[in-house]
């Protein structure tokens, strides 16, 4: 199981939304937390008034930067034992006609290659750390896609699959957990933090953190709101859920 306190935790995408809330809750529970992201001022806002939250700038889409970041991080925080791959972007797109693919490439670079590169850069350290945990943040959209965010949904499906492989291969060495949020009221997309039908951020954090505290910690942390998507294929409601998401 994941320890409640006494960890040294790296959270990417720690300057807002889910990453910020997790970082602050984990800090307040007695953990050392490093928040990483592209915008230092946002990270500093996360760390404000919390002496054991440390700020590090990182663009996970820059593979060279990830490697040097990881080396320095291990040097500065040799007790690092938890990695939360949370950084992600979700632009809407029209995939029904020829277009500029730079947005799609950026989504793949940040949402998929970012976690793969950072995990690769830290895996040798984590395999030898006590109570090591790797948390990958996917999405309910990994299981039923949102057509207007097709590349985002595809990267999250890939993260789910990659996490399953990591869990199998790291069995007995690193605990591998997938956190699959539903639609949560954050600014992942413009206006989403006030969008009706999305889960309030505080409720999501409280419900999901209660699962992290379970013994054993679930392999997939799933709040009740996301279970209809996670299990849509198994329970025969996939087409219905897809139509519902496509109409949003």
Which residues partner with 12 through β-bridges?
A: 36
Please list, in sequence order, all residues whose beta carbon lies within 8 angstroms of the beta carbon of residue 17, skipping any fewer than 6 positions away: 184, 186, 187, 188, 201
17: which 2 tokens?
């939304």
For the chain, what is the radius of gyration of the CA atoms? 17
Q: Is 162 a catalytic residue?
A: no
Q: Look up the pTM and report it.
A: 0.96
Looking at the DSSP bridge assignments, the partners of residue 33 are 9, 53
How would you write the pLDDT of the chain (248 residues) with one tens digit per residue?
899 999 999 999 999 999 999 999 999 999 999 999 999 999 999 999 999 999 999 999 999 999 999 999 999 999 999 999 999 999 999 999 999 999 999 999 999 999 999 999 999 999 999 999 999 999 999 999 999 999 999 999 999 999 999 999 999 999 999 999 999 988 888 777 888 888 999 999 999 999 999 999 999 999 999 999 999 999 999 999 999 999 98
Catalytic position from the list 22, 92, 152, 162: 152
How do the domains of the chain map onto residue ranges? 8-246
Would you say domain 8-246 falls under CATH 3.40.50.720? yes
Find the DSSP H helices in the chain. Answer: 17-28, 40-47, 63-76, 102-107, 114-127, 150-169, 201-212, 227-230, 232-235, 238-246
């Amino acid at each position: 199981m994941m320890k409640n306190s006494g960890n040294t935790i790296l959270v990417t995408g720690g300057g807002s939304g889910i990453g910020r809330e997790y970082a602050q809750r984990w800090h307040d529970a007695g953990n050392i937390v490093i928040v990483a992201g592209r915008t230092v001022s946002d990270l500093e806002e996360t760390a404000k008034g919390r002496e054991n939250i440390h700020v590090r700038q990182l663009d996970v889409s820059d593979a060279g930067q990830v490697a040097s970041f990881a080396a320095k991080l291990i040097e500065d925080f040799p007790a690092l034992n938890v990695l939360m791959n949370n950084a992600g972007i979700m632009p809407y797109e029209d995939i029904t006609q020829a277009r500029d693919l730079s947005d799609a490439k950026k989504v793949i670079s940040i949402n998929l290659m970012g976690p793969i590169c950072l995990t690769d850069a830290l895996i040798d350290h984590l395999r030898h750390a006590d109570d090591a945990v790797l948390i990958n943040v996917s999405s309910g959209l990994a299981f039923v896609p949102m057509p207007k965010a097709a590349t985002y949904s595809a990267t999250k499906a890939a993260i789910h699959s990659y996490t399953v492989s990591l869990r199998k291969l790291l069995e007995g060495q690193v605990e591998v957990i997938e956190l699959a949020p539903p639609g949560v009221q954050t600014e992942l997309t413009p206006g989403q933090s006030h969008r009706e039908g999305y889960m309030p951020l505080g409720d999501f954090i409280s419900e999901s953190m209660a699962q992290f505290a379970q013994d054993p910690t679930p392999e997939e942390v799933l709040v009740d709101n996301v279970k209809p998507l996670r299990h849509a294929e198994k329970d025969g409601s996939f087409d219905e859920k897809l139509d519902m998401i496509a109409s949003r």
